[in-house]
Amino acid sequence: MVLLLVATLTYAQQNTDQSKFRQLGTELPTPNTYRTASGAPGESYWQQRVDYDIKVELDDEKQKIKGTEMITYFNNSPHPLTYLWLQLDQNVVHPESDTYKTATNKLGERVSAGQLNGMLDNSFDGGHKIEYVKDGTGKALKFTIVKTMMRVDLPTPLIAKTGKIQLQIGWSYNINDRQNPALGADSRGGYELFPEDGNYLYTITQWFPRLAVYDDYNGWQHKQFLGQGEFTLPFGNYTVAITVPSDHIIAATGALQNAKEVLTADQIKRFEEAKTATKPVVIVTQAEATEKEKTKAKDKKTWVYKAENVRDFAFGSSRKFIWDAMGVKIEGSPVPTVMAMSYYPKEANPLYGHLSTEAVAHTLRVYSKHTIPYPYPVAISVEASNGMEYPMICFNYGRPEKDGTYSDRIKYGMLGVIIHEVGHNFFPMIVNSDERQWTWMDEGLNSFCQFLAEQEWDRSFPSNGGQARNIVGYMKADKEVQNPIMTNSESIIRFGPNAYTKPATALNILRETVMGRELFDFAFREYARRWAFKHPTPYDLFRTMEDASGVDLDWYWRGWFFTTDNVDISLDAVTEFRMDTKNPEIEKPLASKKSKEQLERDVTFQNNKRDLATTAVERNEALKDFYNSYDPNAPAPTDRERYEKYLASLSPKEKAIIEANKSYYQLDLSNQGGLVMPLIIKFEFEDGTSETQRIPAEIWRLNDKKISKVFAFAKPVKQVILDPQEETADVNTENNYYPRRPIPSRFEVFKQEGFTRGASMGSNPMQQAQQQKKAGSN
């Protein structure tokens, strides 16, 4: 049997050490008894514990915080400790802060006063003012403040494994204006003044001296806080008593212990109703909150909270708060009813009253399905014109216009941010990764789950992360503005795409394209289960995802997380092959047709047809002989005989291949972007049908630059398309079609006359619709 098909032999041109499929080696730490090669905590895994008993008072007149805390520190580590490190995050807005000093900036031709202020003003008297540090018995301890960190020296070493010590610290600080560009972004919390009614809304975060993490892979994590790398903290139990003006409502981490002392009988009754309600129940109404805005209480109330097994504590406080709640049942949760709750000023209505608590509940349900059941008694969304997360509580943006209308950008932005910030309960509040080192460990994993939750909220939710095509712009950008995902939090150049969108997209591609949903979901849940209430590293994630799924992903982690390569697979050529059947009845007419076609193409033949009326043999029949009518491609009797003999020599299998009479296509592909990826190839046939084949990335294992592969079909192919659903983040789809097709582009024709740009500026579709309705034009 002679086939025209020739298998293309591809030779590995590179030495195996350079293969994109080599196992991760030096990139991973050596497994040990704390962290195993499977990605699970090892038999000697340990982590520190720290409990807090805090009393704090909020001064609404001077915008100050003053507090005392009793810290109980448990040394579970196998090492004696001679000092402890604490975080003083408020020092990020200290006048001498490195954040101010190391911020780079430039003056353009036009700079607003606000921008200039943001660059140069460090006059705010911010930062933790430490009053004292004492041991449990009241004996003063020596402490040294190192910018945003504080070392407390212990008179005797805290013994390994069973050591326990109490510290008492007194402190205060001035609360910053959260909306001041010089202060707001880095301090995460602060106050907002509402000039129309003269009231403040406080979000009190990163507010008490907090023990740093001491662990098996960092020792002390006391890297300075510059603003980007959030924080990492040990787990423990909290009792916090917060004293505020008596007309304030507090939203806080944990369960309220003294409802009868701080809430009215009506509020308590409404709260009880909310537990079994199927939609949010308003506990403090807008009318009640608006009434309170008019006066300022002189007396005070103390709200007491307890929170177990959390890594931090935050709260919001204002007399402006409207408050609603709804009970949520989470299958498998140790808490029978989780209270999804929202607190917001009237300025956030109608959006927050309508959607916030529902979004909280939705987030808990979807995330619990994909990770572990939500284990805490409350989950709170506070409207505070920014976005930041703490255990059980987060602060979110999303404020409508004064007339109550809002744009789709505000609506979906608000839903996205609530899902995102509530979602942070899972990463990093429960699966407690080190944010100061790896932003993507919480932001990326959380943005991925956010995408899942958004798509379960609404099929057409305009999600930012997750969809492969949305990361293309970043991944094809200049390499100078890109870092690998595995870059320290403070050194990331483009924070959003690098630490949020790219890892989220990378995980979604694993789920939809590389591993499939079933294997991915099982492995991802296993990672969350293994590391819930523990401190995972990226390597524990990488290892667990492989260990639980049975899919070798080393090539994927290396390409997507350790490099800035992108995906650009080019379909360079498609060559059609046909098998020589040896059947003279088929092959000879074909050959005859081909030679006639060739003659017809010939330029001299064509021009002579035009220019010569006749040729010599046409003019004179006598010049002709046998060969003027002989067709070398006409089947001869001997051909038939030879073919019968040939058929008799074939095995049944060989005969079947020949009789199938298929069309064969060789696809030549090249890897232009660097990342090896699965091939998703759609074949569109001439009869209008199509077929998609999915080929694992390992097709690139012998040559990661150029490969060829043959496909056979019973019907002719018209078009071949690579990655037809845009699921691989291919940065150049122009070379994904064979034959190539024109790149779609759209011209926008601006009509000069009668076109007034900005005629509808400042209004949103909702507002326009309402105005139209009012005008009766509808």
Burial class from Cβ neighbours inside 10 Å (0-12, 13-18, 19+) for residue 668 reads middle
Smallest separation (angstroms) from Zn ion to the CB of 415: 15
Smallest separation (angstroms) from Zn ion to the CB of 356: 17
Closest to Zn ion by CB, 434 vs 547, is: 434
Tokens read off for 749: 């024709």
Number of residues that bind Zn ion (CB under 5 A): 1
Q: Residue 744 carries which DSSP code?
A: P
Closest to Zn ion by CB, 228 vs 317, is: 228
Residue nearest to Zn ion (CB): 443
Closest to Zn ion by CB, 443 vs 454, is: 443
Smallest separation (angstroms) from Zn ion to the CB of 389: 6
Q: Residue 47 carries which DSSP code?
A: -
Smallest separation (angstroms) from Zn ion to the CB of 387: 7
Smallest separation (angstroms) from Zn ion to the CB of 492: 13
Tokens read off for 33: 């008894």
Closest to Zn ion by CB, 419 vs 680, is: 419
Tokens read off for 461: 């939710």
Closest to Zn ion by CB, 318 vs 396, is: 396
Closest to Zn ion by CB, 216 vs 443, is: 443
Closest to Zn ion by CB, 443 vs 730, is: 443
Residue 761 CB partners (closer than 8 Å, separation 6+): none
The CA-atom distances, in angstroms, between 245 and each of 77, 319, 382 are: 42, 8, 19
Smallest separation (angstroms) from Zn ion to the CB of 420: 6
Smallest separation (angstroms) from Zn ion to the CB of 54: 25
Whether the upstream peptide bond of residue 428 has omega within 30° of 0, thus cis, is yes
Smallest separation (angstroms) from Zn ion to the CB of 440: 11
Query: Is 682 strand, coil or helix?
Result: strand
Q: Are 668 and 573 contacting, i.e. CB atoms less than 8 angstroms apart?
A: yes
Cα 4 to Cα 395: distance, rounded to the nearest angstrom: 68
CA atoms within 13 A on the CB side of 775: 8
Query: Is 546 strand, coil or helix?
Result: helix
Residue 195 CB partners (closer than 8 Å, separation 6+): none
Starting at the edge strand that comes first in sequence, how are the strands of the sheet with 143-146 ordered? 143-146, 149-158, 81-87, 210-211
Whether the upstream peptide bond of residue 95 has omega within 30° of 0, thus cis, is no
Closest to Zn ion by CB, 244 vs 453, is: 453
- Taking residue 480's Cβ as centre, other Cβ atoms within 10 Å add up to 7
Q: Which stretch, 6-14, 235-243, 437-445, 489-497, contacts Zn ion (CB under 5 A)? A: 437-445
Smallest separation (angstroms) from Zn ion to the CB of 709: 42
Query: Is 390 strand, coil or helix?
Result: strand
Closest to Zn ion by CB, 192 vs 443, is: 443
Closest to Zn ion by CB, 443 vs 540, is: 443
Of 753, 592, 584, 658, whose CA–CA distance to 5 is shortest?
658
* Length of the chain measured in residues: 778
Cα 744 to Cα 301: distance, rounded to the nearest angstrom: 65
Tokens read off for 550: 């049975």
Cα 381 to Cα 418: distance, rounded to the nearest angstrom: 7
Smallest separation (angstroms) from Zn ion to the CB of 494: 15
Smallest separation (angstroms) from Zn ion to the CB of 424: 6
Of 710, 677, 678, 709, whose CA–CA distance to 694 is shortest?
678
Tokens read off for 542: 């990488």
- Taking residue 31's Cβ as centre, other Cβ atoms within 10 Å add up to 14
Q: Residue 102 carries which DSSP code?
A: H
Closest to Zn ion by CB, 324 vs 443, is: 443
Q: Which stretch, 139-147, 435-443, 561-569, 678-686, contacts Zn ion (CB under 5 A)? A: 435-443
Smallest separation (angstroms) from Zn ion to the CB of 310: 17
Tokens read off for 184: 């707001």
DSSP codes joined into one string, 126-170 = -S-EEEEEEETTS-B--EEEETTEEEEEEEEEEPTTTEEEEEEEE
Calculate the CA 571 to chain-centre distance.
29
Closest to Zn ion by CB, 202 vs 427, is: 427
Smallest separation (angstroms) from Zn ion to the CB of 170: 32
- Taking residue 666's Cβ as centre, other Cβ atoms within 10 Å add up to 17
Q: Find the helix packing angle between 554-562 and 502-509, rounded to 10°.
A: 160
Cα 338 to Cα 365: distance, rounded to the nearest angstrom: 11
Annotate each residue in 439-478 with x if it binds Zn ion (CB under 5 A) or - if it does not, as one string: ----x-----------------------------------
Whether the upstream peptide bond of residue 350 has omega within 30° of 0, thus cis, is yes
Closest to Zn ion by CB, 312 vs 443, is: 443
Closest to Zn ion by CB, 77 vs 489, is: 489
Q: Which stretch, 68-76, 237-245, 436-444, 686-694, contacts Zn ion (CB under 5 A)? A: 436-444
Smallest separation (angstroms) from Zn ion to the CB of 446: 6
State the Cα torsion 521-525-526-531 to the nearest 10°.
Answer: 150
Closest to Zn ion by CB, 94 vs 311, is: 311
Smallest separation (angstroms) from Zn ion to the CB of 466: 14
Q: Which residues in this chain contact Zn ion in the complex, by CB under 5 A?
A: 443
